[in-house]
């Protein structure tokens, strides 16, 4: 591992069916903040429902975690300003020795504060 490669911070959130005191669904629960390397791999534009849309596939390199699962986990980039990009996990790919993992994600173009 090169020094300084894991220079980004991401918050790991897991989808939950829990409800708050008023019966409203909570949606996402934060599990923790980890160091990671975020790189955009591909991007495409398409038309869906008479609207122009775009999709960006990113690769997030981080230490191995067992709680990262496809479609039920998302990452939120932690920035000094507080608003970060949201990534939905599509494929977690651990290395053979399970020390690190590369996670393929699609970027959601929403902001989380």
**pLDDT band of 61, cuts 50, 70, 90:** very high
Statement: residue 5 has pLDDT above 60: yes
Helix (H, G, I), strand (E, B) or coil at 10: strand
CATH class of 8-112: mainly beta
Statement: residue 48 has pLDDT above 80: no
**pLDDT band of 107, cuts 50, 70, 90:** confident
- Residues 6 or more apart whose CB falls under 8 angstroms from that of 28 comprise 13, 14, 15, 16, 74
Statement: residue 113 has pLDDT above 70: no
**pLDDT band of 90, cuts 50, 70, 90:** very high
Q: What is the pLDDT of residue 1?
A: 61
The sign of the CA dihedral 62, 67, 71, 77 is negative
Q: What is the pLDDT of residue 75?
A: 93
Token pair 């929403």 is at which residue? 110
Burial of 36 (0-12, 13-18, 19+ CB in 10 A): buried
- Residues 6 or more apart whose CB falls under 8 angstroms from that of 87 comprise 10, 38, 58, 60, 74, 75, 76, 77, 105, 106, 107, 108
Asked if residues 36 and 80 have their Cβ atoms less than 8 Å apart, the reply is no
Q: What is the pLDDT of residue 32?
A: 93
Tell which wins on pLDDT, 55 or 88: 88
């Amino acid at each position: 591992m090169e020094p300084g490669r894991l220079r980004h911070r991401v918050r790991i959130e897991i989808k939950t069916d829990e409800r708050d005191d008023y019966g409203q669904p909570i949606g996402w629960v934060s599990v923790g903040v980890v160091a990671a390397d975020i790189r955009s791999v591909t991007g495409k534009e398409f038309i869906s429902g008479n609207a122009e849309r775009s999709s960006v596939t990113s690769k997030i390199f981080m230490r191995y975690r067992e709680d990262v699962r496809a479609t039920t986990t998302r990452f939120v980039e932690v920035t000094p300003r507080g608003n970060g990009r949201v990534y939905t996990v599509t494929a977690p790919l651990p290395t053979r020795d399970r020390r690190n993992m590369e996670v393929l994600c699609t970027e959601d173009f929403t902001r989380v504060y």
